Amino acid sequence: MSFYGKIFKNICFPFFEKVKGRKTATYLSAAQNRLHKPQKTIADFQLQQLKNLLLFCQEHVPYYQKQWQQLNFDPNTITSIDELSQLPVLTKDDIKRHYQDLVPNCKAETNIKKSTGGSTGQPFHFELDLQSYETRQAIMWRGYGWLGAGLGAKTWFLWGIDLGEPTFLSQLKMGLYHRFHNRKVANSFAMNSNNMTSYIKSLNSYKPEAVVGFVAPLFSLAKYINKHNVKINSPKVLLTGAESLLEFQREELETAFGCKVYNTYGCREFMLIGAECEQQKGLHVNIDQLVVETLNENRQPIKGGRGDIAITDLFNYGMPLIRYINGDQASLSESQCQCGNPLPLIDKIHGRKLDIIKTLEGGELPGEFFPHLIKDFKGIERFQVRQKSFTTVDIFYIANELFTGDELSAIESEIHRNTNHSLTVKFHCVDDIELTAAGKHRVTISEI
């Protein structure tokens, strides 16, 4: 780490947060210290925070007061995390319908309001209080920190930025803010095949210790670098987020950037949920910030198998999200990592449930099927699969100079082989494929 990075981490950042009246640095120190404790101690901490949250909800949150009264649920009786399964899950539709009843009156005036673009392009709104904002920032810096991209590390971000035309003053302010934090942010929304060299110049001139970015734009940049044999000032580490990272994408990134690539998992509602370590045997789950469950189709907790993710934020008292279904699927691991980090593991993130392509007979093609299939066809630059009925899928693709047309029959044949010919495949050559409102590239979209 550079001299400025050390000064920022140990002096500037704690002082800045104190001036702002925030406790992020204090929470970060406490979170880092917890990693030196046995897993049982952290689990006890998690249970106590859950009890505190549930008791607060019983006292102040109308939505849970009504629900729990009907269920005869008493949070005073909770003795283990597993008993959380007594409660119903919380969906985005529940939040939209009961928004005001989920916000306690004692927090309404001071809450921070947030929105997500949503995987379907429909904005989703939620709130959090200041403590939740500070604790999730601390947890994020801790996770990035154990991978070498924490506070003070000189970092180049390939990330989405606010849309709209910023004023000169706001640009200046944001630029100074990023320089203070020892980072440079390149707009992933604006990157395309015609301006890749400008992003590479930005990266090479900045000479970062770490690179952090969305999977899709980083993968596109890596393919360009490898295809054109572009020389890169290699960072020490690269972190991906916002989208599922597949192994062939990791290999492409490591070849292009000349460093180890680590995956992280999070969402805007909670920030960092988990991150890999050097062992890369899964992602360590931040159980001292969250309760993460996987549920089967009957909403019952499962371990070891693929299930819907349900998350409880232990510190968001501004709008408590208890057993919130975020739309992703994962498998939890029962193994203990050998790296020494006591946090348990997510074995694998399977991506969004909405990404699964279905057939009339009940068959399924997971979203990751298509990247694995189409990656070997060099004539297809980008693609997106959309399904509006059980009998048809539409594949939109961008062709490059290597495209011959033979790719389409090979792709169709493989889809038929894996679905017993129950899907009609329609191909559409297009000039562009739009990103989601959150700036992500959705590989598959199912509307059924």
Q: Which residues contact 90 (CB under 8 A, 6 or more apart)?
A: 321, 322, 323, 324, 325
Mean pLDDT of 114-119: 67
Which pairing describes strands 283-285 and 345-352: parallel, antiparallel, or unpaired?
A: antiparallel
Cβ-contact 385, 393 below 8 angstroms: yes
Mean pLDDT of 259-275: 94
Please give the Cα distance from 313 to 108 (Å, whole number).
18
**Residue 350 or 426, more confident:** 426
Which domains does the chain carry?
3-350 (3.40.50.12780), 356-446 (3.30.300.30)
Residue 285 has pLDDT above 80, yes or no: yes
State the pLDDT at residue 142: 97
Three-class DSSP category at 235: coil
What confidence category does residue 353 fall into, taking pLDDT thresholds of 50, 70 and 90? low
Cβ-contact 260, 254 below 8 angstroms: yes
pLDDT per residue as tens digits for the range 149-202? 999 999 999 987 654 556 777 778 888 888 889 999 998 877 877 899 999 999
Please give the Cα distance from 237 to 309 (Å, whole number).
28
Residue 436 has pLDDT above 70, yes or no: no
**Residue 373 or 42, more confident:** 42
392-399: strand order across its sheet = 424-429, 392-399, 380-389, 444-446
State the pLDDT at residue 161: 67
What confidence category does residue 82 fall into, taking pLDDT thresholds of 50, 70 and 90? very high
State the pLDDT at residue 198: 95
What confidence category does residue 120 fall into, taking pLDDT thresholds of 50, 70 and 90? very low
pLDDT per residue as tens digits for the range 40-77? 999 999 999 999 999 999 999 999 999 999 999 999 99
Residue 375 has pLDDT above 90, yes or no: no
Residue 146 has pLDDT above 60, yes or no: yes
Helix H or strand E segment including 121: none
What confidence category does residue 121 fall into, taking pLDDT thresholds of 50, 70 and 90? very low
